[in-house]
Chain A
């Protein structure tokens, strides 16, 4: 993953704002990148979500890792924070445990061509106020949540 980092690049995305792109082909099943950020507990995440909403940042850089812990990549993290959601993604997110440390890894579930945008399904919980989905996939569900 570390070596692959330089073969990914963030740039303007057709889906939304910024996206992460492959600079070389990636085989199905290969790990692409780890989603890195600050490990915070639920209560702190709830508190930050309110602060981010107020300051217009939104809360889409918070990634749940288990019942009580969340990875927050809003103000500290790596390129993985730029990966956009897609309803028909070319990657999946998975939580693995390495030496008792839980990690979020994004891996390709189908071959990714050079220059293709990396995407995964955010699997946001269903909520009242909807976030429209811009992925443009034929099987698009219309909303992120």
Chain B
């Protein structure tokens, strides 16, 4: 994952991840 990843989000604090309803589903 390069240093200039396009969708990298810079954070100042840890964020608690909000799991999605289909977090573990196998996406076709």
The short answer to whether A and B are in direct contact, CB under 8 Å, is: yes
Q: How large is the interface on B (under 10, 10 to 19, 20 to 34, 35 or more residues)?
A: 10 to 19
Question: In the docked arrangement, what's the CA distance between A43 and B24, Å?
Answer: 9
Complex interface: stretch among A32-40, A115-123, A130-138: A32-40
Interface size class of A (residues with CB under 8 A): 20 to 34
Task: Give the residue name and chain of the A residue nearest to B15 (CB).
Answer: A38
The answer to whether A44 has its CB under 8 Å from any CB of chain B is: yes
Residues of A within 8 A of B7 (CB): 75
Residues of B within 8 A of A109 (CB): none
> Would you call the interface of chain B mostly helix, strand, loop, or mixed?
loop
**A39-B17, A44-B23 known; A77-B11 Cβ under 8 A:** yes
Answer whether residue B21 sits at the interface, using C-beta atoms and an 8 A cutoff: no
Chain B residues in 8 Å Cβ range of A143 = none
Which chain A residues numbered 7 to 60 have a C-beta less than 8 Å away from chain B?
A: 10, 18, 36-40, 43-44, 47, 52, 57-58
Q: A-contacting residues of B (Cβ < 8 Å)?
A: 1-3, 5, 7-17, 19, 23-24
